[in-house]
Amino acid sequence: MSDNKGCSRRNFFKIAGALGAGPILFPANQAAEAQPEPGSPTPVRIPVRAFGRTGVKVSCLGLGGIFDITTNQLLLKQALRWGVTYWDTAESYVGGKSERGIGQFLKKYPQTRKEIFLVSKSTRYDPEGLSQYLAQSLQRTNTNYIDLYFLHGINSPSLLGKEARAWAERAKSQGKIKFIGFSAHSNMEDMLLAASKLGWIDGAMIRYDFRLMRSEKMRRAVDACSKAGIGLTAMKTQGKGSVAVDSEAELELASRFVKRGFTDAQARLKAVWEDPNIASICSQMANMTILMSNVAAALDRTKLTSEDRKLMDAFALETSGGYCAGCTSICEPAIGQAAPVGDIMRFLMYYNSYGEVEHARNCFAAIPIEVREKLETIDYSGAERLCPQKIKIAELVMRAVKTLG
């Protein structure tokens, strides 16, 4: 299964079938077995990739943790069993139920800790806030260290200053974190280009998908990080929009991929994995069906063809009006920074495209009340004129106020 000819549709579904047919439960003392017993069948393990200059190899598929993990322990067991050892959480996810769920699992299966590459994040960026949130994450996740700690959702390189660096060095020397980095939902290209020059950032998680990877600036930014030894994790790789846009190209894509033996969603993962600069894809996998489908895609070696890429490009162009590219340095200054346009577009994406209703509403509710109250009174026409995606910003902000407010 190493090339296009090598992985037939039959073989691909054989992978998925094998994943589904295996026993889901396994004894606690074998929870993270890395090697098969002599003579036993080879366990299914997804590929690993080097994470920048850290010297660590991470699973190419990461378990995104925006769901109630306290009631989903079986999923963690199965993820480990298939080699999905990169686990992503944050202090802000699901009111703490994401981190607590991981802590619950590690309390029961402490021997699995060394197998897991645990990522958590802070939405406070000052030294005091970082220390406070890190202490809370360690306590909730029932561990002594976080492998990779992110300043979460930052959109300005100014937040990666001397204070943050000194804090990171201290936390590393105390053994509380191994690596430091940031996550970015907007202005990702500028963040990556700035980080590549800093010399102390170990990793970054950015929105990255078949749409964004077409941009020359994004390719340059990813390449700069790769050269600087920064490990990169891609998130939101399905390239979903704030709203659905009817597209004939989508139907064509889906039919083509089904004939080739994989789904449209799996093709979008493949597009990102085919970029060797990306170490891991962080994917929300809140149920066994999505986990199995993504693991099957990670195991399948079928490459996308140039025709596949062409169709994906056509689809990206046809549906660009529903997709916010996160370039908030363009639209937000045009309205005097009166509203977090990029964030609102993202919350609509959670709501409309991912079905994450509660998460979308919680995020929207975190916008300061004085900003929310003025959202309907702002003139967005200047921002709309500048938006490269031609998004109907005013219309969508009104929609967000109605559905998420």
The nearest distance, CB 375 to ligand SF4, in angstroms, is: 14
Q: Which residue lies nearer to ligand SF4 by CB, 229 or 382?
A: 382
Q: Which residue lies nearer to ligand SF4 by CB, 83 or 153?
A: 153
Residues 223 and 196: beta-carbon distance below 8 Å:
no
Angle between helices 188-195 and 216-228 (to 10 degrees): 30
By CB under 6 A, tell whether 342 contacts ligand SF4.
yes
The nearest distance, CB 323 to ligand SF4, in angstroms, is: 7
DSSP-derived 3-state class of residue 49: strand
Enumerate the β-bridge partners of residue 206: 184, 234
List the alpha helices (DSSP H) in 246-286: 248-260, 264-273
By CB under 6 A, tell whether 327 contacts ligand SF4.
yes
Q: Which residue lies nearer to ligand SF4 by CB, 15 or 188?
A: 188
Tokens linked to 33: 């077995």
Please give the single-letter amino acid code of residue 379: D
By CB under 6 A, tell whether 325 contacts ligand SF4.
yes
The nearest distance, CB 263 to ligand SF4, in angstroms, is: 27
**Neighbour-count burial for 139-165, b at 16+ CB within 10 Å, e otherwise:** ebbbbebbbbbbbbbbbebeebeeebe
By CB under 6 A, tell whether 353 contacts ligand SF4.
no
Q: Which residue lies nearer to ligand SF4 by CB, 164 or 345?
A: 345
CB neighbour list of residue 317: distance below 8 Å, 6 or more residues apart: none
How many residues belong to the site for ligand SF4 (CB under 6 A)? Answer: 14
By CB under 6 A, tell whether 331 contacts ligand SF4.
yes
By CB under 6 A, tell whether 155 contacts ligand SF4.
no
Please report, as residue ranges, which positions from 281 to 300 form the binding site for ligand SF4 (by CB under 6 A).
Answer: none
By CB under 6 A, tell whether 345 contacts ligand SF4.
yes
By CB under 6 A, tell whether 54 contacts ligand SF4.
no
By CB under 6 A, tell whether 330 contacts ligand SF4.
yes
By CB under 6 A, tell whether 187 contacts ligand SF4.
no
Q: Which helix (H) or strand (E) holds 63?
A: strand 61-64
Site for ligand SF4 (CB under 6 A): which residue of 387, 397, 400, 404? 387
Q: Which of the stretches 12-20, 272-280, 294-302, 320-328 binds ligand SF4 when contact is defined by CB under 6 A?
A: 320-328
State the DSSP string of 2-31.
Answer: -STTTS-HHHHHHHHHHHHHS-S---GGGT
Q: Which residue lies nearer to ligand SF4 by CB, 138 or 391?
A: 391
The nearest distance, CB 217 to ligand SF4, in angstroms, is: 13
Please report, as residue ranges, which positions from 100 to 129 form the binding site for ligand SF4 (by CB under 6 A).
Answer: none
Which single residue is written with the structure tokens 């809140």? 286
Site for ligand SF4 (CB under 6 A): which residue of 64, 101, 239, 326? 326
**Neighbour-count burial for 19-52, b at 16+ CB within 10 Å, e otherwise:** beeeeeebeeeebbbeeeeeeeeebbbbebbebb
By CB under 6 A, tell whether 391 contacts ligand SF4.
yes
Sign of the four-CA dihedral 371, 348, 203, 119: positive
By CB under 6 A, tell whether 171 contacts ligand SF4.
no
**Residue 398 to residue 405: CA distance in whole angstroms:** 10
Site for ligand SF4 (CB under 6 A): which residue of 79, 154, 341, 367? 341
By CB under 6 A, tell whether 238 contacts ligand SF4.
no
By CB under 6 A, tell whether 316 contacts ligand SF4.
no
The nearest distance, CB 255 to ligand SF4, in angstroms, is: 29
Burial of 358 (0-12, 13-18, 19+ CB in 10 A): middle
DSSP-derived 3-state class of residue 152: coil
Q: What Å distances lie between residue 199 and 157, 162, 165, 203, 334, CA to CA? A: 13, 12, 10, 11, 33
Query: Which residues contribute to the site for ligand SF4 (CB under 6 A)?
Result: 324-328, 330-331, 341-342, 345, 387, 389, 391, 393
